[in-house]
């Protein structure tokens, strides 16, 4: 009996107690897992840094508006626009982008919508541009004169002739192969080239059939005014130039003025806003600001003194000082502010 009891104890010692220990063990194990799980979750929550709020995008201040000006080399080479540019940019917070070439090319740029302002000196071409509806608010703002310059020895003997007689003499002597006679033309459809053709017309010559390709004496440069002056200087030739560019280049040249008087030598500078159906209204308004800037009495006074300190003579005559007598329509309105933002009539019917 004792052995049985012992065997029972050995085999099943205190069965109730054994069951209790197993339950405690299972309970402790379960509790341990729960605590470990909660600890892991807590650690994960506390160790994860909160996501930083995305800062708002920085606001960039809008840059200055750009205004593209198509102008002629005859004006640009004088340095007037370099002088006026910072004054306008500071006043209106606008960046001027200036491109210079012959008047014909400048007009083509404007027609193609590649410029906002046209600033040239060929009234006949400008009036067509306006009539065809490509421009608004044409205003003349300054003038000076064209002149024929040449070697100081004046081998053609044209000094102080009328422009028409001087060109006739050059043609006759040039085609007769007179030694030392040569004329360099802009030959680029510019305002100066247009003025030259106007002189030939008034001298009763057909430019295309009687002047162009009439001999080696007549040279077409196809270049801007400054380059044409330098070419004529190198060849000891005559050329037609505006007074302003000549004065700006005078120190580099041996050429002197030989003919400087005559109605056909009048040189008028005008400015107008470019118009097309895609041109933003704000660009036209800014173009109008530039036009009004040029005809403002303060700027007119500045234009009237430009060049005096450097050349001893003003390069331009402002409209407030003298309005030239010219063919009808050549001098644009120079007093009324530019305000129109669209033409009053449709393209092609006249403006």
Band the pLDDT of 347: cuts 50, 70, 90: low
Q: Which of 103-107, 163-167, 232-236, 289-293 has the lowest mean pLDDT?
A: 103-107
How, if at all, do strands 266-274 and 135-150 pair?
A: antiparallel
Backbone φ and ψ for 272, nearest 5 degrees, come out as -155, 155
- Smallest CA-to-CA distance from 153 within 62, 237, 38 is with 237
Closest alpha carbon to 113 in 263, 277, 342, 229: 277
Q: What are phi and psi of 216, to 5 degrees?
A: -65, -15
**Mean pLDDT over residues 65-72, rounded?**
96
Residues 6+ apart with CB under 8 A from 246: 147, 149, 229, 253, 255, 257
Average pLDDT of the segment spanning 215-232:
96
φ, ψ at 270 (rounded to 5°)? -135, 160
Kindly tell me if the per-residue pLDDT of 8 is higher than 90: no
User: What integer pLDDT is reported at residue 346 of this predicted model?
Assistant: 54
Higher pLDDT, 178 or 3: 178
Predicted confidence at residue 344, as pLDDT, reads 77
150 φ, ψ (degrees, to nearest 5):
-165, -175
Query: Would you say the CATH fold of 146-265 matches that of 65-145+267-318?
Result: yes
**What are the residue ranges spanned by the domains of the chain?**
65-145+267-318, 146-265
Q: Is pLDDT of 43 > 80?
A: no
CA gap 190, 179 in Å, rounded:
29
User: What are residue 337's phi and psi, to 5 degrees?
Assistant: -60, 150
Higher pLDDT, 29 or 123: 123
CATH domain 146-265 topology: D-Maltodextrin-Binding Protein; domain 2 (3.40.190)
Query: What pLDDT digit, counting tens, does each position of 49-66 carry?
Result: 444 445 544 444 567 899
Average pLDDT over residues 326-330: 93
CB atoms within 10 A of CB 45: 8
Query: Tell me: the pLDDT tens digits for 259-307?
Result: 999 999 999 999 999 999 889 999 999 999 999 999 999 999 999 999 9
Model pLDDT, residue 25 = 42
Task: Give me the residues paired with residue 274 across strands.
Answer: 135
> By C-alpha distance, which of 239, 243, 237 is closest to 261?
243
Beta bridge partners of 305: none
- The count of C-alpha atoms lying within 13 angstroms of the C-alpha of 142, restricted to the half-sphere facing its C-beta, is 27
pLDDT value at residue 34: 42
Angle at 150 between CA 146 and CA 154, to 5 degrees: 125
The residue-averaged pLDDT of 127-134 equals 96
**For residue 172, pLDDT beyond 50:** yes
pLDDT in tens, 186-204: 999 999 999 999 999 999 9
Q: Which of 61-70, 116-125, 208-217, 314-323 has the lowest mean pLDDT?
A: 61-70
| pLDDT reported for residue 61 | 54
DSSP characters over 176-227:
TT-TT--EEE--SS-HHHHHHHHHHHHTT--IIIIITTS-TTEEE--S-HHH
pLDDT number for residue 36: 46
Position 9 pLDDT exceeds 60: no
HSE-up of residue 236 (Cα within 13 Å, Cβ side): 8
Q: So what's the architecture of 65-145+267-318 in CATH?
A: 3-Layer(aba) Sandwich (3.40)
Distance set, CA 182 to CA 170, 216, 244, 251 (Å): 8, 8, 23, 22
């Amino acid at each position: 009996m004792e052995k049985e009891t012992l065997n029972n104890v050995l085999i099943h010692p205190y069965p109730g107690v054994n069951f209790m220990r197993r339950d405690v063990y299972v309970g402790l194990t379960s509790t341990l897992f729960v605590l470990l799980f909660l600890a892991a979750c807590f650690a994960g929550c506390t160790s994860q840094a909160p996501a930083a709020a995305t800062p708002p995008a920085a606001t960039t201040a809008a840059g200055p508006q750009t205004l593209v000006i198509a102008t002629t080399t005859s004006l640009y080479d004088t340095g007037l626009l370099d002088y006026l540019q910072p004054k306008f940019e500071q006043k209106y917070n606008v960046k001027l982008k200036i491109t210079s070439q012959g008047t014909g090319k400048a007009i083509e740029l404007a027609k193609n919508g590649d410029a906002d302002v046209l600033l040239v000196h060929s009234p006949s071409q400008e009036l067509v541009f306006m009539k065809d509806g490509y421009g608004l608010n044409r205003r003349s703002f300054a003038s000076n004169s064209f002149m024929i310059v040449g070697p100081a020895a004046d081998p053609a003997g044209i000094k102080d002739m009328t422009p028409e007689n001087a060109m006739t003499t050059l043609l006759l002597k040039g085609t007769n192969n007179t030694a030392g006679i040569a004329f360099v033309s802009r030959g680029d459809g510019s305002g100066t080239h247009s003025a030259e053709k106007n002189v030939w017309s008034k001298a009763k010559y057909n430019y295309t059939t009687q002047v162009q390709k009439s001999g080696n004496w007549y040279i077409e440069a196809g270049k801007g005014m400054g380059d044409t002056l330098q070419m004529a200087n190198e060849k000891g030739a005559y050329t037609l130039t505006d007074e302003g560019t000549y004065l700006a280049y005078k120190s580099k040249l041996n050429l002197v003025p030989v003919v400087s008087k005559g109605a056909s030598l009048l040189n008028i500078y005008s400015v107008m806003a470019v118009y097309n159906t895609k041109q933003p209204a704000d660009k036209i308004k800014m173009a109008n600001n530039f036009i009004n800037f040029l005809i403002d009495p303060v700027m007119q006074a500045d234009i009237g003194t430009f060049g005096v300190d450097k050349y001893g003579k003003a390069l331009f005559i402002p409209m407030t000082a003298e309005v030239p007598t010219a063919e009808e329509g050549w001098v644009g309105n120079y007093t009324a502010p530019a305000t129109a933002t669209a033409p009053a009539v449709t393209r092609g019917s006249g403006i």
